Amino acid sequence: ARTDLVAGLDGEPYVLLVAEDGQSLEPFALKAECTHLGCLVGGLDPARGNRFVCPCHGSEYARDGRVLRGPAPRSLHLARVTVTDDDAVFLSRWTEPDFRLAAGDDPAKPA
């Protein structure tokens, strides 16, 4: 799965994810800042099962930004991705409920 690092909301680094069809973008982007101490997470690492890995303290995140291994306390932040008819890409604040959380999950604990 391909990813691209872009300057997103407020100029912060965000990761755009190519959808499974290989053509379109996922409707969400991930802020590429580890929720532990703010280090920049790397791209999806095939050697680690296509996870995002923080090079500072080893936190690992799933493709959707959920914490798989700490010390990160929370999932990566989301942004809404919109692609216009002329293929311009826009990021906006995520205002919907976090789709990564099942009912009763604690967002502060790794999966």
Residues labelled as active-site residues: 57
CB 106 within 8 A of CB 95: no
CB 91 within 8 A of CB 9: yes
Distance CA(91)–CA(94), nearest Å, equals: 9
Q: Is 8 exposed, middle or buried (0-12, 13-18, 19+ CB in 10 A)?
A: buried
